[in-house]
Amino acid sequence: MKPIFLYLSIFWLATISACSSNLYRSTNRSYKKQVKNYAKLLREYPVKDSSGLLFADIWVGTTNFTMRRPNFVVIHHTAQDSCGQTLRTFTLPRTAVSAHYVICRDGTVHHMLNDLLRAHHAGVSKWGNATDLNSMSIGIEIDNNGSEPFTEAQMNSLLQLLDRLKRAYNIPQANFIGHADVAPGRKVDPSRFFSWHLLADKGFGFWFDTTNVDVPIDFNALQALRIVGYNINKPDIAIQSYKIHFVPHDTTNVINDTDKKILFDLMRKYQ
């Protein structure tokens, strides 16, 4: 009896340990339940409603359709103190915020939401003619409080992830952007510590080269910002977001001669 009792005790302890180590067992169940409900909704064919339209007596479903696919990637920093804190924030219903991916300081990647589902990460946003970036983008949060450098492990994981996403969804090079870009004035992430130059060198977003750039006398810097993608309804905050991304050492909201060269070159790449 003793060996059997011993084996049962070990099994029981292992089971308890496994259950206690998964802090997100409850929220994972909630995720699966929500996905199941959406799947049920998708299985329902279009039905008549009360809009007063003259619907046909029979339903004819098209055979030509696919899932909607993301066309942008929006990069954030978490503005929190740990990866665990961010994971908790994204698993509390009352916060109503989320992201598809969270990258911890050691490079560990949490894939929190299917890429084809809509995360709540960008909020009120605009980039070029695109509004509601949540509905057409993948959100990536990097564990960083906003006032510190990003780790090498994080950047390596990010580059690998971006490469996979770019190939999987054929995302254009111009469509890798930051939260500050799409929500100028409201957001500043992923902060001035983030290396957009590194990403551009790998094909994720564009960078500038002002070598031999001659700016026309009638060059309109604000219109160049608009062509790049920025919402210029409030010029000062548009300039601020541009500098967070492309000239992080400059904290002013003034377009100088160097900025004009940068924007002229960027405009040619983004238009």
Residue 104, Cβ density class (10 Å: 0-12 exposed, 13-18 middle, ≥19 buried): buried
State the virtual CA torsion across 15, 18, 23, 28 in degrees, nearest 10: -80
Cis preceding linkage at 149, omega within 30 = no
Catalytic residue set: 141
* pTM of the model as a whole: 0.89
Contacts of residue 73, Cβ cutoff 8 Å, sequence gap at least 6: 137, 138, 140, 162, 165, 171, 175, 176, 177, 204
DSSP line for 176-214? EEEHHHHSBTTB-TT-TTS-HHHHHHTTSS-----TT--
Q: Where are the domains of the chain?
A: 66-207, 208-271
Sign of the alpha-carbon dihedral angle for 219, 221, 222, 223: positive
pLDDT along the chain (271 residues), means of 10: 46 46 86 91 73 78 88 98 96 96 98 96 96 97 97 98 98 98 97 98 98 96 98 97 98 97 97 86
User: Rounded to an integer, what distance in angstroms lies between the CA atom of residue 90 and that of residue 83?
Assistant: 11
Count Cβ neighbours within 10 Å for each residue of 244-264 and write b for 16 or more, e otherwise. bbbbeebeeeebeeebbbbbb
> What pLDDT, in 10s, does the model give residues 39-81?
888 888 776 666 777 877 887 888 898 888 999 999 999 999 9
Q: Which pLDDT score, from 0 to 100, does residue 130 have?
A: 96
Q: Which CATH fold topology does 66-207 show?
A: Lysozyme-like (3.40.80)
Contacts of residue 203, Cβ cutoff 8 Å, sequence gap at least 6: 166, 173
Q: Which pLDDT score, from 0 to 100, does residue 47 have?
A: 67
Q: Which pLDDT score, from 0 to 100, does residue 21 have?
A: 63
Q: Which pLDDT score, from 0 to 100, does residue 16 have?
A: 45
Q: Which pLDDT score, from 0 to 100, does residue 15 have?
A: 47
* 15's tokens: 């089971």
Which residues sit opposite 130 in a β-bridge? Answer: 127
User: Rounded to an integer, what distance in angstroms lies between the CA atom of residue 98 and that of residue 177?
Assistant: 17
Q: Which pLDDT score, from 0 to 100, does residue 42 have?
A: 83
Q: Which pLDDT score, from 0 to 100, does residue 52 have?
A: 75
